[in-house]
Homo-oligomer: A and B are copies of this chain.
Amino acid sequence: MDKTPSFSLRIPEGDGVAHKVCDHCGFVAYENPKIVVGSVVRHEGRVLLCRRAIEPRRGFWTIPAGYMELNETPEEGARREAREEAGADLAIERLLAVYSVPRISQVQLIFRAALADPRIEAGVESLEVRLFEWHEIPWNDLAFPSVHWALNHDREAEDGAPPVPFGNPAGDVGDRMPDGRMLATDEF
């Protein structure tokens, strides 16, 4: 290797939109929206949350979720993330929600799940993992708007909402926490 990475925004031949093109060899680094897969996990009425050991939002609480990998299904990805982040073995019930955060070009597929085995354990990306009663959930210390959405939508599903997947709250594109604070980070 005799160079360091260096890209410029240019319109590749035959394309209509600017993309990152390598200054050395012309390689076009196409970027696509990313898929996050995750779960609201229940066990005996309590819900599983993980305190993040990594940025963004280190120290804040999240549902187990992360980027889908190549050659897996969304359900496999959601189970893998729960295993990695919370040492948890999931029984997935159904698709709870499809959210999109266009600012960061993310689509999130969130499932409802139960623990197939009661054992949980913090993985390397988590400071701690815990099962919360609804009234114990640390609402002011949740990592992302979509964690709020997913917990509340799961509660609506518990209360008998039809099994239609939820989407973003009306008009909400995920730029703010529910208390109004702007949040400009990536998610998960």
Contact = CB atoms under 8 A, between A and B. Distances in A.
Contact of A32 (B3, B35, B164): B35
A15 interface: no
A2 interface: yes
In this complex, the member of A22, A27, A29, A164 whose beta carbon has the largest number of chain B beta carbons within 10 angstroms is A27
Contacts of A2: 24
Interface stretch (A98-106, A134-142, A143-151, A179-187): A98-106
Contacts of A109: 98, 107
Contact of A163 (B7, B27, B162): B162
Number of copies: 2
Given A98-B95, A100-B73, A1 B25 contact: yes
A4 B33 contact: no
Nearest to A77: B33
Interface residues of A, number: 43
Nearest to A71: B102
A176 interface: no
A158 interface: no
B103 A71 contact: yes
Contacts of A173: 73
Interface in A63-81: 67-74, 76
A58 interface: no
A29 B32 contact: no
A117 to B, nearest CB: 24
A3 B24 contact: yes
